């Protein structure tokens, strides 16, 4: 049996007529950049997340970048964030000339640890920037109260957590700004690059709207240094057509996660992801820690059985060459580094079958039993 890590074609084929109907007007009317399809998606996505505003952008990295600019971050400001994430979270901090201040993660959720965040706050801190890693909600309720107490902004990197909830509210709506990516492999994916910010603050939304379109305030009046970070019409149309399916797709991911957990529980040599309140996790990835054998050997043995896996992510961001200038060394983030040295992402997408999950779980038990 073949078990791909991710197969976008099944999902696209299942809604092809809806997608084609959504795309025709874009092509017929040649509304390729922004336009009515992007506006309609922004309206729907804001309603879905539960914020007043949504601004469509060209990708999730830009969304974080534009959000930090609109939050007024200045060169030299400090932003507290996680070492365990996709690099974009830190890129955005660097783009605005701020300094990323990394604190270690919670060993259960792999997300920012609020207690460590609190002790990292200085007079230069401006923003707390958590990531809802693998689709699991970070403790943003607590982080929001820490931010409010210290007069800081909370920016949620929700690129992996479309539809997750905490305290009954959608992830992205608890911080001052939420940032999303619609990279094709995300839980809600475009037909190319895409991103957005959501917020209840109309000033932040209108600032990002201006920034994304060359900082124009009226045609040919550029009021500050601007960007071209606009969402394309095609992406707005595809995302609007896909959004009504998101909760259903996330429900399927939860079923697969429950099946993995049930089939792999009590298996020696492996640590399973923590299973919090169901609504708090949308299982962008199902990530295990391989304790008893070499990670690459484990992955190779699974690949030999037709099962594709991934590693998200192998190196703590502060230990990347790009961030060498901060002077961190191995051992500075022991929890994140341990998780990152052992983590393996199992196949996960809505259209996986029960047979594929069962086959993968059985293969994992066999590979671990055989050992190195």
Ligand X SMILES: *Cc1c(COP(=O)(O)O)cnc(C)c1O
**Which residues of the chain form contacts with ligand X (CB under 6 A)?**
59-61, 85-86, 88-89, 131, 157, 159-160, 181, 183, 193, 195
Contact predicate 126/152, CB 8 Å: yes
- SS3 for 222? strand
Residues linked to residue 230 through DSSP beta bridges, in sequence order: 57
> In this complex, which beta carbon is closest to ligand X, that of residue 89 or of residue 360?
89
> In this complex, which beta carbon is closest to ligand X, that of residue 104 or of residue 156?
156
CB of 135 to ligand X, least distance (A): 10
Nearest-5° angle of CA 108, CA 344, CA 326?
Answer: 70
> In this complex, which beta carbon is closest to ligand X, that of residue 183 or of residue 286?
183
> In this complex, which beta carbon is closest to ligand X, that of residue 96 or of residue 361?
96
CB of 283 to ligand X, least distance (A): 14
> In this complex, which beta carbon is closest to ligand X, that of residue 235 or of residue 356?
235
Please compute, for residue 321, the number of CA atoms within 13 A of its CA located in the half-sphere on the CB side: 0
> In this complex, which beta carbon is closest to ligand X, that of residue 131 or of residue 307?
131
CB of 43 to ligand X, least distance (A): 21
Distance CA 128, CA 143 (A): 8
The residue number with the shortest CB distance to ligand X is 60
CB of 372 to ligand X, least distance (A): 31
> In this complex, which beta carbon is closest to ligand X, that of residue 135 or of residue 233?
135
Residues 6 or more apart in contact with residue 256 via CB below 8 angstroms = 283, 286, 348, 352, 357
C-alpha distances in angstroms, 262 versus 93, 188, 257, 330, 355? Answer: 39, 26, 9, 35, 14
E strand or H helix that includes residue 101 = strand 99-102
CB of 181 to ligand X, least distance (A): 3
> In this complex, which beta carbon is closest to ligand X, that of residue 195 or of residue 347?
195
Alpha helix positions (H), 162-287: 202-212, 233-242, 246-264
| Cis before 313 (ω within 30) | yes
Distance CA 106, CA 114 (A): 9
C-alpha distances in angstroms, 151 versus 112, 125, 167, 232? Answer: 19, 9, 22, 35
CB of 173 to ligand X, least distance (A): 17
CB of 110 to ligand X, least distance (A): 12
Contact predicate 179/197, CB 8 Å: yes
CB of 17 to ligand X, least distance (A): 27
């Amino acid at each position: 049996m073949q078990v791909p890590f991710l197969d976008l074609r099944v999902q696209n084929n299942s809604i092809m007529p809806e997608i084609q109907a959504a795309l025709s007007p874009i092509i017929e009317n040649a509304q390729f950049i922004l336009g009515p399809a992007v506006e309609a998606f922004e309206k729907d996505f804001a309603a879905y997340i539960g914020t007043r505003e949504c601004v469509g952008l060209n990708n999730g990295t830009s969304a974080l970048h534009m959000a930090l600019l609109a939050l007024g971050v200045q060169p030299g400001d400090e932003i507290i964030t996680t070492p365990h994430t996709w690099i974009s979270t830190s890129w955005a901090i660097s783009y605005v000339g701020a300094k990323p201040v990394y604190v270690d993660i919670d060993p259960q959720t792999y997300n920012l640890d609020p207690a460590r965040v609190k002790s990292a706050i200085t007079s230069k801190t401006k923003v707390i920037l958590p990531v809802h890693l693998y689709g699991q909600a970070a403790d943003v309720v607590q982080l929001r109260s820490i931010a409010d107490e210290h007069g800081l902004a909370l920016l949620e990197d929700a690129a992996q957590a479309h539809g997750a909830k905490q305290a009954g509210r959608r992830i992205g709506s608890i911080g001052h700004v939420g940032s999303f990516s619609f990279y094709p492999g995300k839980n809600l994916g475009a037909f190319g690059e895409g991103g957005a910010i959501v917020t209840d603050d109309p000033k932040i939304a209108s600032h990002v709207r201006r920034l994304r379109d060359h900082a124009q305030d009226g045609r040919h009046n550029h009021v500050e240094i601007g960007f071209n970070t606009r969402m394309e019409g095609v992406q707005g149309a595809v995302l609007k057509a896909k959004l009504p399916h998101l909760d259903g797709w996330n429900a399927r991911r939860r079923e697969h996660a429950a099946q993995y957990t049930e089939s792999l529980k009590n298996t020696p040599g492996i640590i399973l992801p923590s299973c919090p309140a169901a609504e708090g996790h949308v299982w962008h990835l199902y990530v295990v820690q391989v304790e008893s054998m070499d990670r690459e050997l484990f992955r190779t043995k699974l690949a030999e059985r037709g099962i594709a896996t991934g590693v998200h992510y192998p190196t703590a961001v502060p230990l990347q060459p790009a961030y060498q200038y901060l002077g961190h060394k191995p051992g500075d983030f022991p929890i994140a580094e341990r998780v990152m040295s052992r983590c393996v992402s199992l196949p996960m997408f809505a259209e996986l079958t029960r047979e594929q999950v069962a086959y993968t779980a059985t293969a994992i038990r066999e590979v671990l039993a055989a050992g190195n």
